[in-house]
Amino acid sequence: MPERGTHSETLQAGARLTVGTRVLLPIERVVKHIDIGDTGLWFSFEKEPYALVICDAGGARAVSVAAAAVSLEDLRARIPDFDSLLAPC
């Protein structure tokens, strides 16, 4: 049975994709679990889609995988160099 563990969750940008005049930037949620017990060490990682940032002539906007609006300010706060990823926008 694990004695102690850690859990962390981060957001990261995936590979940019340009489609015509639009730039698509997938945002991924990465979760890390580490448990340390008497008999060993257990770790796991999860990576799943979180949102999609769309840049076009209308500007930048983000939607979640559930099609709900996502705050660009929240993404700026949670993803290092987020603005530089959107620089051509």
Q: Got the DSSP string for 18-65?
A: EETTEEEEEEEEEEEEEEEETTEEEEEEEEEEEEEEEEETTEEEEEET
Q: What angle do CA 21, 19, 84 make, to 5 degrees?
A: 75
pLDDT score, position 2: 44
- Residue 9 and residue 47: Cα distance in Å, rounded? 10
Ranges 11-15, 21-25, 33-37: which has the least confidence: 33-37
Among 6, 7, 25, which residue's Cα sits nearest to residue 15? 25
The pTM (predicted TM-score) of the whole model is 0.80
pLDDT score, position 1: 46
**Where residue 7 falls among pLDDT bands split at 50, 70, 90?**
confident
pLDDT score, position 85: 86
pLDDT digits (tens, 9 = 90+) for 33-89: 998 888 888 989 999 999 999 999 989 999 999 889 899 999 999 999 998 888 777
pLDDT score, position 79: 94
- Residue 5 and residue 43: Cα distance in Å, rounded? 9
- Residue 56 and residue 21: Cα distance in Å, rounded? 6
